[in-house]
């Protein structure tokens, strides 16, 4: 009743004018944020950092390096990228390791030039695949034990065993934990000359393993500022495919072996140089001897043996894509195999 009288006493045009004005003023009022409609608390008060609070620090990235020469790297290459690398290595043989860890003389001047070419590709995130094709030249002169026709020198060149491997990043590097990469593939595909050896070649034509070697293991990596640490732990299981001679005992050429490598890098501050030190090793648990004798069986250049050595070197980062290294490996101890010293040059280009 009161409302009816109020409406009757008010001109209709005046009422509409007041309603329009109210809507206009309401449109000018600010919209309240959804966050402010909630119960007041720390979320509202922390829109600005408190005075004296330190800004969030970005995690420092490890410096760029060439990577080790012998030790395999851990972190896979970027997706869709390639890398081509090679090593030019010249081995000198001052002697050999006997079955009981002793050292004997080489019995001549023996050398090997070894140049593996490695092509690496990242097909997808955290996955890397690579293939290695080595070129090998063996030569010897002034040997003590001559060939069937009195030969005291010989040489042989060819392609050695191929390697095809893949690795996947299982665990990224953390504040405490290292990066862990799973590795699997074929450490040797028997493409290198390994059977029907020519006695006149004095063993120089044995450049392959004669085995298809299945490999699995892990690679580790950790940046312990200022050092970058790498490690490989691999199990290698060869399947021997070729015979060395007519005797049954000569069919065994390669053995199961464990590979353990360790490497450390130290980037020199404010320079493009990196110091490198590696420890390489293979461990077998059986001997290769001629049937009925204690004499070592002739082994190819790539045939695994028990050996422990070190490799000091230096790296140079020429450009963002081109890097190179120089070093020398020294076999310190071993069993049932050759002893060698090997200066080498390493070159890598990423694209």
Average pLDDT of the residues of the chain: 82
Q: Which helix (H) or strand (E) holds 218?
A: strand 211-224
Domains of the chain: 82-350 (2.40.160.40)
Residue in this structure with the two tokens 């000091």, named with its chain if needed: 312
Q: Mean pLDDT, to the nearest integer, of 29-49? A: 38
Q: Mean pLDDT, to the nearest integer, of 103-109? A: 89
Sign of CA dihedral 57, 67, 164, 303: negative
Give the pLDDT of residue 280: 97
Give the pLDDT of residue 18: 46
Q: Mean pLDDT, to the nearest integer, of 201-222? A: 92
Phi and psi dihedrals of 15, rounded to 5? Answer: -60, -45
pLDDT tier at 62, thresholds 50, 70, 90: confident
Give the pLDDT of residue 133: 97
Spell out the SS3 assignment of 142-166: CCCCCCCCCCCCEEEEEECCEEEEE
Q: Mean pLDDT, to the nearest integer, of 58-70? A: 85
Interatomic CA distance for residues 325 and 68, integer angstroms: 9
Give the pLDDT of residue 203: 87
pLDDT digits (tens, 9 = 90+) for 303-317: 778 999 999 999 999
Interatomic CA distance for residues 171 and 218, integer angstroms: 11
């Amino acid at each position: 009743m009161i409302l009816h009288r109020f409406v009757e006493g008010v001109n209709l045009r005046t009422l509409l004018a007041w309603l329009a004005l109210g809507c206009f003023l309401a449109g000018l009022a600010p919209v309240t944020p959804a966050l402010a409609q909630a119960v007041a608390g720390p979320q509202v008060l922390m829109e600005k950092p408190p005075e004296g609070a330190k800004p969030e620090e970005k995690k420092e990235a490890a410096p760029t390096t060439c990577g080790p020469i012998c030790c395999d790297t851990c972190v896979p290459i970027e997706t869709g990228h390639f890398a081509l690398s090679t090593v030019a290595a010249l081995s000198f043989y001052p002697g050999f390791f006997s079955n009981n860890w002793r050292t004997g003389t080489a019995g001549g001047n023996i050398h090997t030039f070894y140049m593996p070419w490695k092509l690496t590709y990242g097909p997808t995130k955290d996955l890397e695949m690579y293939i290695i094709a080595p070129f090998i030249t063996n030569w010897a002169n002034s040997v003590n034990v001559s060939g069937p026709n009195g030969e005291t020198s010989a040489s042989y060149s060819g392609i050695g065993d191929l390697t095809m491997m893949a690795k996947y990043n299982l665990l990224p590097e953390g504040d405490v934990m290292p990066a862990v990469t799973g590795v699997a593939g074929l450490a040797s595909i028997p493409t290198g000359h390994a059977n029907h050896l020519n006695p006149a070649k004095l063993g120089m034509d044995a450049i392959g393993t004669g085995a298809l070697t299945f490999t699995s293991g892990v690679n580790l990596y950790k940046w312990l500022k200022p050092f970058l640490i790498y490690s490989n732990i691999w199990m290698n299981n060869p399947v021997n495919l070729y015979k060395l001679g007519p005797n049954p005992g000569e069919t065994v050429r390669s053995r199961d072996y464990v590979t353990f490598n360790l490497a450390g890098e130290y980037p020199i501050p404010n320079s493009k140089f990196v110091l490198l030190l590696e420890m390489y090793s293979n461990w077998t648990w059986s001997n290769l001897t001629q049937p009925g004798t204690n004499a070592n069986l002739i082994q190819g250049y790539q045939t695994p043996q028990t050996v422990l050595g070190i490799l000091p070197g230096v790296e140079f980062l020429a450009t963002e894509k081109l890097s190179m290294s120089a070093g020398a490996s020294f076999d310190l101890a071993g069993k049932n195999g050759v002893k060698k010293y090997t200066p080498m040059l390493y070159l890598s280009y990423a694209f």
